Chain A
Amino acid sequence: MKRLVLALGLLLAAPAQAVTPDEILDDPALEARAREISKGLRCLVCRNENIDESNAELASDLRVLVRERLVEGDSDEEVLDYVVDRYGEYVLLKPTATGANLVLWIAGPAMLLVAGGLGLVYVRRRGSAPDAAAAGLSAEEEARLRDILEE
């Protein structure tokens, strides 16, 4: 952790820029793919930034690496696999839907089903419940109503 902060501090002291002109590929199609891939890769020394936006030196290295792989004819998946092989899945901003991560991806839809089901049961029960409001006000509520009306 401390090392991370230190690294961050050092990098900030010597700022580079997010994608710089000299990194850009001549082939616009390849460059567009590189940008798209970059947006899904995490800058490892930054806090929650992708390498496309990061000013860090390491992010720049990664951007160049992605472009090199693309120029050599890798597909998008091959580039991602290559980067993950080297840096681990920590580098992916969009976690894979494999193993335990399935829980992450399924949590939302599953919760929606549960909550939606509970909501539906509740609404149905309210539809068939005896109408307590029609039963009139309690004595206490009557008194309060009188108070309010008199004011």
Chain B
Amino acid sequence: MIVELGHFALVLAALVAIVQMIVPMIGASRQWSGWMAAAVPAATIQFLLVSASFAALTYAFVVSDFSLRLVVMNSHTAKPMLYKISGVWGNHEGSMLLWVLILALFGACAAWFGGNLKPSLKARVLAVQASISVAFYAFILFTSNPFLRLATPPMNGEDLNPLLQDPGLAFHPPFLYLGYVGLSMAFSFAVAALIEGKVDAAWGRWVRPWTLAAWLFLTIGIGLGSWWAYYELGWGGFWFWDPVENASFMPWLLAAALLHSAIVVEKREALKSWTILLAIMAFGFSLIGTFLVRSGVITSVHAFANDPERGVFILLILAVFMGGALTLFAARANVMQAKGVFAMVSRESALVANNVLLAVSAFVVFVGTVWPLFAELAFDRKLSVGAPFFNAAFTPFMVALTAILPIGAMLPWKRGTLARTMQPLWGVLALSVAFGALVWVMQTGGAMLAPVGLALATWVTLGALVDLWSRTGRGDISSRLRRLRNLPGADWGKTTAHIGLAVTVFGISGLMAWESEDIRVARIGERFEHAGYEVELRDVRDVQGPNYVSTMATMAVYRDGDEIAVLHPEKRVYPVAGMPTSEAGIDNGFLRDVYLVIGDAQADGGYAVRTYIRPFANWIWAGCIIMGIGGVFSLTDRRYRIAAGARKRRAPAAGVPAE
């Protein structure tokens, strides 16, 4: 019964979305305030209905209702509760339901907190947002219905893919979707502004918190996915340039570009048409990502609902929304006249450079991702584009970006001189170069990756701090410290996010340059040495988990004769899903991880054992978290509260509750 109610609620939500798509749009063009205002209750009702639908599906998973096809295919009674719940979105149909839930949530937030928006713009934003919802409701109801029943329910389910039964991956999809779908708000604002025929500074201010929120969630989502890959897949890689990873990375790059260009629109009324185009493209790449993941056109580790029919449907959605938006964009080029004037050396120009680098790097990732498909169709060449290509083709952009970042961040608006901007930065630059040189000498030559990466990370970090300090003006230390505390959230956010980027760069460079590995057969009781650590294989036992059996080793790690950690790397087999996974034993450290993997038993009684020392591994994800914190700081900036909902002194527009 509850399941049927959920199904019914979903249909109702789709109907409400159709109303929300049409009525406010007509109202806005005829200036009928009643029709425009209808968007707000419609958005609220739509959100409540789709929440009810999602709750019904969650309920079916929690109580293991095996009359539901989806539950049978993705759950099992023995599965821990966390994974029963995460199983709701650990499959194609359920994840699409999560997708529309978040879509409706963002629409509702715009309705609730968009008090200061011009009524016609607000009505149009909500109508455009509803049109996206309508497309996805149709997709779910016609091709991917999660509420299908089975005539003869089985006794038990087929279990969730064991790789997904992990806390990191339980929360990876919701965050990623909050990011993907968050970009739909930027898209809706862009299209609404084009229909409205007005793109101005206020628009830049309205769209920015939504973009910030989307970018922040994408950052966390990608970070979680990468962290999961690091400890779960058993060889400690953190990024594979897999098509599906790329699908989430491209929107991230474009969202980052959009964040920066929206500042130019807001502060200087320039770069308008580019910013609108970016807003459209960023969401377009979210849709492309959805298409890549779910259509099966590209093989990837995320084997997830490979169904051509669904692929065609998503391609259709993509074509309609991108085609429509870009046509509108071309037709309305005249409303996007830039106003602000600025010189060649200015903050504006630096942000243009930032956008060029981010957008082109996203383009490189895109070309690399679709090239195998294209080459096969066009030239009948079956080929691969993998990590070595992306490392070579993508890295230079990040080097250039981090190299110009501190200078661009400190350039004044309108007109500046390099000499003056560089004045406080020379010391930092010298220090960073010296640090890079020191690293190069210490590693006795060799690859330039670590020296360059570490020097750039230092340059960006110290540059960001100098920038923040320079914002406190002149005077004695105590008054500057006081002003530092009172600096706007945007300043703190900028500094923090840039430092986060630097920390991630530092981690990636250090890890890739200096990780070391040891593979051997170890007998129980045997101690061996690797890179200054001693490892002892103490014991290997078979352990019964809730829904798996595990071969669990007990291994001790010694440093200078002292025991520093006892780790339990495992090899698990999930009998229901018939799938083995490996759980690495990791001793996390500030400067390095000791990473142990237990392998197969050997014929002569030992076990294959891998030992890795991974320097600075945690810095990669710490950087993601710091970037996210920077985004939060920026969202708390006072100017967004004034821009959105000032009259009622509500929470900031983008204070969207994380699911």
Contacts and interface: CB of A to CB of B under 8 A. Distances in A.
A30 to B, nearest CB: 15
B398 interface: no
Given A17-B600, A111-B360, A115-B356, A90 B338 contact: no
Contact of A100 (B296, B306, B338, B381): B381
Interface string A119-136: 100111011011111100
A60 to B, nearest CB: 12
Contacts of A76: none
Given A17-B599, A20-B519, A126 B363 contact: no
Contacts of A47: 242, 299-301, 303
Contacts of B197: none
Contact of A48 (B240, B344, B355, B356): B240
A123 to B, nearest CB: 5
Contacts of B375: 100-101, 104
B580 interface: yes
A111 B383 contact: no
Interface in A1-34: 1, 4-5, 9, 12-13, 15-22, 24
Contact of A123 (B234, B349, B381): B349
A4 B299 contact: yes
Contacts, number: 162
Given A12-B579, A108-B360, 16 more contacts: A20-B519, A21-B608, A39-B388, A40-B386, A47-B242, A48-B299, A92-B384, A94-B389, A95-B383, A104-B375, A107-B363, A112-B397, A115-B359, A119-B352, A133-B269, A151-B647
A63 B359 CA distance: 38
B235 A18 contact: yes
Q: Classify chain A's interface size.
A: 35 or more
B646 interface: yes
Contacts of A22: 521
A21 B386 contact: no
A18 B389 CA distance: 22
Contacts of A53: 235, 237
B597 to A, nearest CB: 8
A151 B363 contact: no
A7 to B, nearest CB: 12
Interface in A85-114: 88-95, 99-101, 104-105, 107-108, 111-112
Contacts of A122: 352
Contacts of B388: 39-40, 93-94
Contact of A112 (B243, B340, B360): B360
Contact of B356 (A12, A50, A112, A126): A112
Given A47-B299, A107-B367, A111-B364, A92 B383 contact: yes
B348 A50 contact: no
Interface string B305-349: 010000000000000000000000000000001111111100011
A82 to B, nearest CB: 17
B382 interface: yes
A73 interface: no
Given A20-B519, A93-B385, A151-B646, A126 B580 contact: no
Pick the most buried of B349, B360, B381: most chain A CB atoms within 10 A of its CB: B360
Nearest to A90: B382
Nearest to B378: A100
